[in-house]
Structure 1
Amino acid sequence: MRIAVLSGKGGTGKTFISVNLAYVIKNAAYLDCDVEEPNGDLYFKGDKIVKQVDVDIPVIDHDACTLCGKCADFCRFNALAIIIDKVRVFSSLCHSCGGCKLVCPVSAITEVKKSIGTIKETEFEGHRVIGGEMNIKEETGVKIIDEIIEISKDILEDVVIDCPPGNGCSVMGSIKNADYCLLVAEPTIFGLHNLKMVYELTQVFEKKVGIVINKASQHKIINDFAESENIEVLLEVPFDKELGLINSNGEIAAKDMKYKHFFEKLADKLLVRKV
């Protein structure tokens, strides 16, 4: 079973839930797809195999170019534009689809490799851990996420996917092959707003969902929303200073018998949903 863990914003406890859930599921793999701010390796420590991730960026042969504009017209992301007497390439906007090269009638476009980040892989107490990290100044890590998902296709065990926060392209890439989406939220007005945002995304992808309420309190704003949408609240993690301290120290809370049952209970509820 492939379980994607999402949140509408950073800081809700998404990685906290992902790490501990993966840890209590026997031999489960953990994928850190939050490539802009990866934190999984703070918990799953160990020597890593590192692989560079490259993308193809167009290069214009200005001597051959006739300024027909077909490449710029084709690019939906405005990565190419005719400015004065040259086609300019804005590499930060390029999605490396290769379409501009295909439509050029005079073969004036070639491609060069550009490094955008890395993928790191390790083993931790029987768990396969795969994560990515964008290089500084890069605009998008979608290609890194795509490669993480591709590498993980040969994993037969259960997989926990720690998705990026929000509802952008990187999140879509993280959940596209997921069997189930677990939405992590805090019981606040802002928490509800962000939960609704990411819930709408999962419904576009027609995913089955459940909710985890982190830092649960007497405020039932998330519970009321879940009831109104017929979404099951699978776990409520209490607001607990000791638990917060364990997490902030980069320790796995599920190793502590006091907290292990939270995540085992969550795992049991999820794994019975296996197709």
Structure 2
Amino acid sequence: MKNRGIKIAVLSGKGGTGKTFLSVNLASAAKSSTYIDCDVEEPNGYLFFKPQEVASNRVSVKIPFADKKLCNGCRKCVEFCKFNALAYINHKLIVFDNICHSCGGCVLFCPQKALSEKEKFIGKIQKGTSANVTVLTGILNTGEATGIPIIDELLNYKLESNNLTVIDCPPGSACSVMESIKDADYCILVAEPTLFGVHNLNMVYRLVKLFNKPHGVVLNKCLDGENPAETFCIEKGIRILERIPFDIELGVLNSNAIIAARESEKYMNIFSRLLQTITEEVQNETTVNP
């Protein structure tokens, strides 16, 4: 199936709903694809793909550096910083690297030109291959303030123009998730069949509505009987793309980091069908809003 470079972002309101499970299987179901793990604080897609020929690049940000001879203690930079990353104590300007957000504002505001910038490495990107999938993984160093610079690097990676791209977003609806979905053609929301699952689904539903992104829901771990997440989708008029059953066989595969679509014809059919549905949705959206 020709996907024409579609970018699909997979979201969930919390961890453990099946976001990575869905992402890796969807990427595996395509003829050729790129999987991008934007959950840089706790990436785990590579555990399933086990990529080969892995290359690694470090990611850096710029942080302020003070020249003691030029600084006169005016505290303009301290007043400017909303993250409290600067302090002037005992006639000395102190920069707290771990909470600096690298905005560069303090450098611009310093009337004495006492501040300049230096590179600080905050993590890395790993690139490898796994059968038909190019695997990109972002890894944030422990204790860093934000992973958004790494997410930006991941999403700006030069990709094959005709490939499907599956973006495995961080859980929740914070800034890192917003950054992950900004260029997506379609968003898949993954939900569990519980009242708590509805609460988390509503979080990401409101986010994609805010960004005006085409979207649909995959109901995961479905059981017989009432499904509050399904009821929520019906009430809100959200398209249900697929219902994945609560399946012991699937649980065993997943817990052993085995990609179900590669192991089972049944699941390959499910994810191929899902991919076809989303491709048609994106093509229809392009036709209506060229």
Name 1:240's counterpart in structure 2.
247
User: Do structure 1's residue 32 and structure 2's residue 37 form an aligned pair?
Assistant: yes
Query: What do the CA deviations read for 1:166-212 (whole angstroms, capped 9, x no partner)?
Result: 11111111111111110001011111111111111112211111001
CA distance in 2 between partners of 1:75 and 1:228 (Å): 44
Matched residues, number: 275
Q: In the TM superposition, what is the alpha-carbon distance from 1:22 to its structure 2 partner?
A: 0.7
Shift of the 84–36 alpha-carbon distance from structure 1 to 2, 3 Å rule, reads same
Q: In the TM superposition, what is the alpha-carbon distance from 1:65 to its structure 2 partner?
A: 0.9
Kept in 1: contact 2:106–2:115 (CA 8 A): yes
CA distance in 1 between partners of 2:79 and 2:216 (Å): 42
Kept in 1: contact 2:99–2:144 (CA 8 A): no
Which SS does the other structure have where 1:48 is aligned? Answer: strand
CA distance in 2 between partners of 1:169 and 1:92 (Å): 18
- Find the partner of 1:159 among 160, 165, 169: 165
User: Do structure 1's residue 106 and structure 2's residue 104 form an aligned pair?
Assistant: no
Kept in 1: contact 2:101–2:145 (CA 8 A): no
Query: What do the CA deviations read for 1:79-118 (whole angstroms, capped 9, x no partner)?
Result: 2233453332222221112221122111111222111111
Q: In the TM superposition, what is the alpha-carbon distance from 1:28 to its structure 2 partner?
A: 1.4
Q: In the TM superposition, what is the alpha-carbon distance from 1:152 to its structure 2 partner?
A: 4.4
Name 2:267's counterpart in structure 1.
259
Q: In the TM superposition, what is the alpha-carbon distance from 1:70 to its structure 2 partner?
A: 2.1
User: Do structure 1's residue 60 and structure 2's residue 66 form an aligned pair?
Assistant: yes
User: Do structure 1's residue 142 and structure 2's residue 130 form an aligned pair?
Assistant: no
CA distance in 1 between partners of 2:198 and 2:158 (Å): 32
Kept in 1: contact 2:32–2:133 (CA 8 A): yes
CA distance in 2 between partners of 1:90 and 1:228 (Å): 48
Alignment of 1:1-275 (within 5 A): 1-45=6-50, 46-152=52-158, 155-217=161-223, 218-255=225-262, 256-274=264-282, 275=286
Q: Give percent identity, aligned residues only.
A: 50
Query: What do the CA deviations read for 1:201-253 (whole angstroms, capped 9, x no partner)?
Result: 11221111100111012222111111121110101110011101101111110
Which SS does the other structure have where 2:217 is aligned? Answer: strand
Question: Tell me, which stretches of 5 or more residues in structure 2 are unaligned?
Answer: 1-5
Q: In the TM superposition, what is the alpha-carbon distance from 1:77 to its structure 2 partner?
A: 2.4
Which SS does the other structure have where 2:72 is aligned? Answer: coil
Q: In the TM superposition, what is the alpha-carbon distance from 1:154 to its structure 2 partner?
A: 5.7
CA distance in 2 between partners of 1:273 and 1:200 (Å): 20
1:31 counterpart letter in structure 2: I
Kept in 1: contact 2:81–2:106 (CA 8 A): yes
Q: TM-score, normalised by structure 2?
A: 0.90
Which SS does the other structure have where 1:10 is aligned? Answer: coil
Which SS does the other structure have where 1:231 is aligned? Answer: coil
Q: TM-score, normalised by structure 1?
A: 0.95
Which SS does the other structure have where 2:218 is aligned? Answer: strand
Query: What do the CA deviations read for 1:50-91 (whole angstroms, capped 9, x no partner)?
Result: 001111111112331122222223323222233453332222
